[in-house]
Amino acid sequence: MFYHIKELQYQAKPTRPDPSFARQLQEILGGQFGEMTVMMQYLLQGWNCRAEQKYRDLLLDLGTEEISHVEIVATLIARLLDGAPASEVESAAEDPFVNAVLGGMSPRQLIASGLGALPEDSEGVPWNGRYTIASGNLLADFRANLAAESQSRLQTARLYELTDDPAVRDSLAFLIARDTMHQNTWMAAIAEIEAKEGVVAPGTFPIDRERREFSYKFFNLSRGEESSKGRWAYGPTMDGCSVFQYVQCPQPYGEPAYLKPAPPQVLDTPPGQLPKMNKC
């Protein structure tokens, strides 16, 4: 059960209208790494969680908080559009594509939502459920969550630099701070699971089923040897099970990928032949 409290988790009161920035904010609402994505990702992972109750609660705690963040960003967008200069709104109504887009205002925020937020990114691409990851493997999922929070914090920080409205910056600073906390949360959860299962996901897959001779080789497939200077090329592996091996000139281990001719009913061109012309 979810219960809505009318007060926002944090203030969302811009000091002045800014339709152009309202459009830019759509990216952290309905973009690939926006608040809608992490909200649905954490909630789905939580609802599907079959592991310890603490992990389910962790996911649902953060997923529920992300609902609050969706509300903050949506409110910011609506208030940035509210009270926009009449000339800008009127020109958008006359010719939404030409006037509104050239003026930086999203025509859909006027036409489709009546000066409100939309479930889409800054380019008007609709939010997609395929942005979300909920595999059931907590180590894999928590790493995806960490990556999502990293991208979210990056994009929100960039938006912070694109506005000089102190109230909007204050709201974004709050979201950035929560991204900091969530990154730390996922890193803590990842470390806990790694201590139990190891650092390679899934930790429950028997390693003796791998072709172990390839498990720790780094193949240099670029000109030069610059990649040999990284930590991934030498020393103990991160799982503590071996050492990295740098292969300067990797050789192919397979045969040429020649295929057999297709059956006649498929009507392919036989290998090495040209089809004969059909005669009337």
* 141 in a labelled binding site: no
CA-angle at 203, arms to 143 and 205, nearest 5° = 130
- 235 annotated among ligand-binding-site residues: no
Q: Does 4 carry a binding-site annotation?
A: no
Rounded CA gap, 39 and 30, in Å? 11
**Cα→Cα distances 208→201, 205, 219, Å:** 15, 9, 22
192 annotated to bind ligand = no
- Specify the pLDDT at position 107: 84
Closest to 103 in 3D by CA, of 182, 227, 210, 17: 17
Q: Indicate where the chain has its CATH 1.20.1260.10 domain(s).
A: 19-197
The 8-class DSSP code of residue 245 comes to E
Residue appearing with tokens 């650092």: 199
Model confidence, pTM: 0.87
Does 48 appear as a known binding residue? no
> Residue 102 has what pLDDT?
45
CATH number for the region 19-197 comes to 1.20.1260.10
User: Residue 144, Cα to own-chain centre: how many angstroms?
Assistant: 8
Residue-level pLDDT at 67: 98
What pLDDT does residue 89 have?
Answer: 54
66 is in an annotated binding site: yes
3-state class of 267 per DSSP? coil
In tens digits, the chain (280 residues) has pLDDT values of 899 999 999 999 999 999 999 999 999 999 999 999 999 999 999 999 999 999 999 999 999 999 999 999 999 999 999 876 555 555 555 655 545 554 577 888 888 888 999 999 999 999 999 999 999 999 999 999 999 999 999 999 999 999 999 999 999 999 999 999 999 999 999 999 999 999 999 998 988 899 999 999 999 999 999 999 999 999 999 999 999 999 999 999 999 999 899 998 998 888 876 666 676 6
Report which of 69, 62, 65 is spatially closest to residue 12, judged by C-alpha positions.
69
Per the annotation, does 224 bind a ligand?
yes
Q: How many residues comprise the chain? A: 280
Under DSSP, is residue 25 helix (H, G, I), strand (E, B) or coil? helix
Q: Which amino acid is at 147?
A: A
Alpha helices in the chain (DSSP H): 19-25, 27-30, 35-47, 53-81, 86-94, 101-102, 107-111, 138-162, 166-197
| 149 is known to lie in a ligand binding site | yes
Determine if residue 82 is labeled as part of a ligand binding site.
no
Establish whether 57 is an annotated binding residue. yes
- The one-letter amino acid at 33: F
